[in-house]
Amino acid sequence: MSEFKALSTETVSPQYQDLDTWDTPHLVQVLVEDQLGAVEAVRRAIGPIAQAADRASQRLRQGGRLIYAGAGTSGRLGFLDSAELPPTFSWPSERSLVCIAGGERAIRQAVEGAEDDLEAGRRDFLAHRPTAQDVVIALAASGTTPYPQGVLLAAGEVGALRIGIANNPDTPVLRLSEVAIALETGPEVISGSTRLKAGTAQKIALNALSSAIMVRLGKVYGNLMVDLQATNTKLLARAVRLTIAATGASEEAAKATLEASGWQVKTAIVMLRKGLNPEAAREVLSRVDGDVRQALR
């Protein structure tokens, strides 16, 4: 128990000791305003987040996979980030994996005690048959959770890149990582409830990290999400707007070109800008690893 006494995320703040007596507007105001601490914590970690993005993109260009690891709230945040990459950036789902303590059941409900099983973390990670090209993103608010430590230990054995995100500095999850991202958010309004600003800070950091990785991998042209999967009415309309923004084409021309390209925005942009048919546009893109800016040069 002594290890938890030193964790700022577990500290009981006297500032909020009468929380349950406050009127609801004041209670909500405090809960909302305390979230600003999450933004500041991530701002202080911009350097290591950028380093993680650069190092991860290098591995992923060689065919590696992103493997998120965590327990409880941290594990679910990793799952969410992983799940959003395929539709947003056409990142292959088989290259976006998750190790969560307690397995998939833990995404919907707590699996008590699962986070304390270091060997389960090691076992779950090794089940993915990892290689040195893979990238592990391990998350733990406390930084002491055994499950992600097990994942990191196994990742080190195979030479995978280890990125650790925790809300307490100099903790095992960070020490086991090659790139340590400390998000020092301090005590929570509700003591120990790290689903509050600690979780918010992790979500912001994950948003920034995975988005930066995808930009570095050519999944974005300018600030346009050109590698999305247009799988519903909203996204079909977005694909048209993106194509128009990138080419200056009319709505009719953009729609027609997208239909001819199988609703692949990158292909449609190259077709319109270079006057190519779908096959030729895809060939140009394949030679530059799908980077639209390079394809247009």
| Same-domain status, 209 and 238 | no
CB 85 within 8 A of CB 219: no
Distances (CA, A) of 231 to 82, 113, 189: 18, 39, 40
Beta strand 179-182 with 66-70 is unpaired
Query: Is the residue at 224 inside a domain?
Result: no
Task: Determine, yes or no, domain membership for 228.
Answer: no
Nearest to 226 by CA among 260, 270, 280: 270
CB 288 within 8 A of CB 295: yes
Domain boundary among 167, 190, 216: 216
Quick count: other Cβ atoms within 10 Å of Cβ 12? Answer: 11
Nearest 5°: phi and psi at 264? -100, 110
C-alpha radius of gyration, the chain, whole number: 22
Joined together, the tokens standing for residue 32 give: 């909302």
| Whether residue 173 sits in one domain with residue 237 | no
HSE-up of 141 (CA within 13 Å, CB side)? 29
Residue 201, CB half-sphere, CA atoms under 13 Å: how many? Answer: 34
Range of the domain at 114: 2-216
Tokens 């395929």 -> residue: 86
Which positions are catalytic?
84, 115
- In this structure, what CATH number is given to the domain that contains residue 269? 1.10.8.1080
Number of structural domains in the chain: 2
* Per-residue model confidence (pLDDT) at position 242: 97
The residue type of 1 is M
Distance in angstroms (rounded) separating the CA atoms of residues 255 and 271? 12
DSSP 8-state class, residue 13: P
The model carries a pTM of 0.92
Q: How confident is the prediction along the chain (297 residues), in pLDDT tens digits per residue?
A: 455 557 999 999 999 999 999 999 999 999 999 999 999 999 999 999 999 999 999 999 999 999 999 999 999 999 999 999 999 999 999 999 999 999 888 888 888 788 999 999 999 999 999 999 999 999 999 999 999 999 999 999 999 999 999 999 999 999 999 999 999 999 999 999 999 999 999 999 999 999 999 999 999 999 999 999 898 999 999 999 999 999 999 999 999 999 999 999 999 999 999 999 999 999 999 999 999 999 998
Supply the pLDDT for residue 5: 59
My answer on whether 210 and 182 are in the same domain is yes
